[in-house]
Each structure stands twice: as structure tokens, then as C-alpha cells.
Amino acid sequence: MDHPSQPSVRHFDHCPWLFADEATEEQRAAQREVQRAVGGDTGIGERCYVAESAAVFPDRLRLGDDSYIAAHAYVTGELDTGSHCTLNPFTTVRGNVVLGHGVRIGAHTSLLGFNHSMAPDRPVFRQPLTSRGIRVGDDVWIGSHVIVVDGVTIGDHCVIGAGAVVTRSLPAWSVAAGNPARVLRDRREVRGTGTAEVDPAAAAPGIRPDDGRTPTNRPAPDAAPGAAAGDPEPTPHARRAVQVAGAAGAEATAGAEVADLSGIRPGSDRTPTSRPAPDPRTATLAAFADTARDQAAGLLDRCWDGERYVDRPGAAPTVRAHCDAVEIADLLLGVAPEHLSTEEHIGRLSGLQDPKSGLVPEFGEPLPVADADGFIGEGAALYHVLCVGYALDLLGPGLPHPVRGVQDMTVRQLIARLEALPWRAGAWRAGAWVDSVATAAHWNLRHTDGSDHGHGTPETLFGWLLTRADPWTGMWGSPSAEEGRLQVVNGYYRLTRGSFAQFGLPVPYPERVVDAVLDHARDARHFGSGRENACNVLDVAHPLWLCTQQLGRGADGYRSGEIHDWAERQLTTVLPRWQDGRGFCFGPGAVGPGPEPGLQGTEMWLAIVWYLADLLGRSGELGYRPRGIHRPEPARQGITGLS
């Protein structure tokens, strides 16, 4: 049927891409009222559209510029989007969902960033809700009638075919389809005969060509309908469809929401015969990740003694071993270790926390005695604040009780403790204590909904750290003749992991940190052939990664060539050290668990491999991304007065 000369609100609800160019002033005013009426904690960017017929009832909504929510979409929970994101008609987005820039979601698609358990001890309607969240990268096209389940990460530049059910994370540049969805090919593969180069920024608004994620010299996509010479100028909707999906080689037409996978059957193992030979470095990463996933269940079986987890056969059960098992299973398999149900894992780990102090002692050891300020200074319980907290976070509920010693610590007590830490002789111990205190403060804020900082622990901690950082190194502590920068750099990692990185705040003097860390990485005492252990490599890789996020990635980043070369050497060294069925050892010597493969070494090196690969712009090929202790994203976005 013909539309009247002026589109109606109903027309815009179903075709919101027309609103910016064709709406009257009255319709624009009415749309502003619709946006103001959205409840919850809401922030809507410029040139956005929210359909009157959409059911938008968020707890939190951040809609980036030039984005829209179309007719009959259903949005609840927490949704954060970048710019140029589209939720087309009848889309469902629930739970905790984060979208990057240029994400196109087809009609009738569901992103379900929550779940609930199904233990047999109670009816389904009484089961507790859980949420690990869904993360979608930049420049992603999700076709119609797709379902994405909780806990999935979809990498940058992916295309997902219509009707897919995405149950596991997808690496960047994947073209995926099927139930369950599987990767069919890489978007960058040559298809057809086109050879022209394209501007990589064109396919993803907001992504810089030199950000380390987008190749600047990739083959052009197949021509999309409407783009060939002599064809009519496509509509604004068609132009946006081509812009977002064109670099995939998938065809886009005006109004179409189905990703065309050109006849590749989801169950087929065939690949296009014209594909170029893969980059051998990429193939190595992908093959390593496939091997690790295939062997993960057996590796965990090896470290299950029938009752509890051990780091390696013959070792005593430890709290950390249980947490490492949870982290490995989540990273590689997307589930809890199968030896216990999710509810049993939660029950065991939650039951270890002392309700009064909030501390978790080691198996068979008494509860640590708190110091005068109410918190402890060292011991296994200090690290358990991290590992038990994050294991429970991955499983769903988080720590059941606050860490009282940190919650009740006064400003005066915190400053006195910080001043007394062994910064000169033991910077690692000092950094580890800050890591534990900052992480405890993070968990404690959850128990107050983030509205009550107690005695101001986070603000006081960051204020002290910012005023004590050495402007020559960006670090805390002093090197020694015996160990060089080892204590300082390793302490820097622990300190910044729990504080600046975990709270999403910039580190001071990032250029000087890069200088100091690269200098340390040349120290043959710690990085000579065969001397690297997981702690030492992680404690260089993470600070370099953290600082490059501030300083910029790609060829123009600060000392990027040296960082790239170091990461390449380390990655080339570590991948062959995977032992079939056993995983990684921590490293040579008596530091840490030593040379026997086990859960701690495996969990740490898997995270290290991700950081090294990401420094090289290739982490998407792994198909996994740390979400626990070694997660790259902040666990919390700032604190009042500092963010």
C-alpha cells in the first residue's frame, strides 16, 4: 500500500532510519518526549530514535549517537551501545548487554544476557537469576531470528547468519551460522575477483584505522547490490547496511536483515577453494586454542582427586586450585567444571568465606588473625579475596559477605598501612596488599549497591597512590642491585590490576611505565632463555597492554615496535610449551608451583597468551577472552570523585 507523503509515527517506528531526514518538527518533539519517558538510569545520544511501540524498561540504558530501537523491540536490564547501533523490529535485548560501534541486529533476534539455574531442589520459577553478560564488539552484523545466550562474547567485525544460536564466544572477523553457531570462514578471505582496497574505517564507525584491530590493506568485499556502476543510489538504510556489512563480503539490501552466507551450509566443513593461504602465525594461535579447548575437560579431570581440586596430581587440595579450575573451564568451555553442578561449586566456595570477617582461609588452616586495623598483611587469605571472589563472580552470585576489615578501615588506618608497606625492599608484597584491599573494596561496593564507600577506602587509596607514583618510572618502589626491577615491575602489575585496571581509571605516567617495563624485560636474570615464569611474563605483558590502551595502539603508538617484537618473541616461546593433556607448567625453578604442569600455570599462561596476542592485534583468533582475575575490561567503571 502507498504511504502518505509525510510518514507517520508508525512508519518511523518500523523504518527508524528515515526519521533523521524526514520527520517534521512536531514528530521530533514527540520523539524527545518518548525518550524522556524511558525509565531507569538512561542516557540517549544524539540523533537517536526509540519507537513508541517498543517496550523499553531498562535498569540502565546508554544508547550511542545515531542509534535506534525499532518497533516492538523489548529491552530490559542493562544495555550499553556504541554509536550507529540498530535494534530492528521485534528485537529482544535483556540482562547485561554491551554493544560496540556499528552493531546491526536483525529483526526477531534475541540477546539474552541473563540465565537462571535449574537445580532439582526447587521449582524453576524459584531458581535464582544469574548474569555473566553478553559483549559484542565493533562492526558486527547479527542476522534475523538469531539467539545469543548469556556469557557469550562476539568479537569485532563478525557476521552471524539468520537463525543461528550462539552458545559460545566467537573470535573477531568470524562469519558464523548454525545451531549451535560455528565459524564458517574469516571475513577477510578473498571472495570473487575484487581486488580493490577499502578504507577500514568505513565498515565500523568510531574505529580508527591504526587501532591495532583493523588491517589497513585487506581485499575489498564483493560488490553489494546498489553499489555497482549504473545502479540507482541506495536509500539511507541501504547505505548503512552496506557500510556495516560490506567488508564481510556478505550482501546487504535495503530493508534486509538476513546475513547472506553465499550457500555455505552450517554443517559443512567445506571452505571456498579460492581462499588465500592463512597466516601461519594466526593458524598457530587458532590451532593452539582448539587444542586447549579439546583437552580442557581431561586437564581438569587430572586435577580432581575425587573430592577436591589439586594444582597437579600428588599435591594437596587448595582453595586456589578450585578457583583456577573454575577460571579454566569458563575460559575454554564456557561452563563450570563438570565434577560438580554449578550450585555445588557456588555452595562450596561461598561456604569457605567467614561471615564475620569476610576472609577465606586455606583448607585445614585457621582463620587468619587480623592486624590492629582489622585487615591482614599476608598469607593465602589475601589472595583468596581475588580468586574466590572472581570464581564466584564467574559462577554468578559473587562473594556472599563483605570483607569487614576493609569495609571498616578508617582513612587514618589505611594511610598508616600504606606508609608502612615494604615499598623499598618488597615492592611485590606491597603491590599484592594493595591488590587485595582494592579488590575487597570492589566486592564491598556490591554489597552497598555502590552508594556507600564506607570510610572512603577507594578514594583514599587512589589519592595516596596518585601522589606517590614516581614520575621517572610511573611506579611505586625502588629497584635493587640483586634483583633489578623485578620487585618493582611485579608489584606494579599486582597494584594496578586491583586498583586502576579494575576500577577503569588511567594509570599515571604511562610512557614512563612502558620505558621501565621494557628495560626490565631485557634483564637476562629473569628473561634469559628458559628462565621465564608465568608471573614474570604476565607482569610485563599486562602493564604494556594497560598502558597501550591509554597511549594508543598501532604503528604510531608509543614504542609500539618494541612492544610488538617482545610480544612476538614471548608468544613464539610459550605456545610450544603446552603439554598435551597436562597444560602449562608455571615455570622453571622453585618459584610458584614450579616445572610440573598444573592448574595455576595453565590458567595464568592462557591469560598471558591472550594479552600477548592482543598486543599483536590477533587475540580474536583464540576464540576466548579472560573474564575472571585476568579480565582486560574494568570490573567497575570508576568511583565517585575520581571517574
Least confident interval from 7-11, 270-274, 403-407, 588-592: 270-274
**Which one is predicted more confidently, 289 or 199?**
289
Helix (H) or strand (E) holding 299: helix 280-302
pLDDT of 140 > 70? The answer is yes
What's residue 218's pLDDT? 31
- With a CB cutoff of 8 Å and minimum separation 6, the contacts of 384 are 319, 320, 352, 359, 360, 361, 362
Which grid coordinates belong to 435?
A: 591488590
What's residue 639's pLDDT? 63
Burial class (CB in 10 A: 0-12, 13-18, 19+), 225: middle
Interval 591-605: pLDDT, tens: 778 889 999 999 999
Interval 441-484: pLDDT, tens: 999 998 875 444 455 678 999 999 999 999 999 999 999 999 99
What's residue 230's pLDDT? 32
Q: Percent of the chain scored above 70 by pLDDT? A: 82
What's residue 455's pLDDT? 56
- With a CB cutoff of 8 Å and minimum separation 6, the contacts of 94 are 74, 75, 76, 77, 110, 111, 112, 113, 114
| Four-point Cα dihedral 433, 434, 437, 440, nearest 10 | -110
10: left (phi over 0), alpha (psi -120 to 50) or beta: alpha
What's residue 592's pLDDT? 78
Interval 156-169: pLDDT, tens: 999 999 999 999 89
Interval 50-76: pLDDT, tens: 999 999 999 999 999 999 999 999 999
The total of other beta-carbon atoms located within 10 Å of residue 184's CB is 22
What's residue 370's pLDDT? 92
Q: Percent of the chain scored above 90 by pLDDT? A: 67
- 254 close to 238: Cβ distance less than 8 angstroms: yes
pLDDT of 29 > 50? The answer is yes
Interval 263-306: pLDDT, tens: 333 333 333 333 344 454 555 899 999 999 999 999 999 999 99
116 is catalytic: yes
Burial class (CB in 10 A: 0-12, 13-18, 19+), 235: middle
What's residue 226's pLDDT? 30
pTM of the model: 0.61
**Catalytic residue, candidates 116, 145, 447, 455:** 116
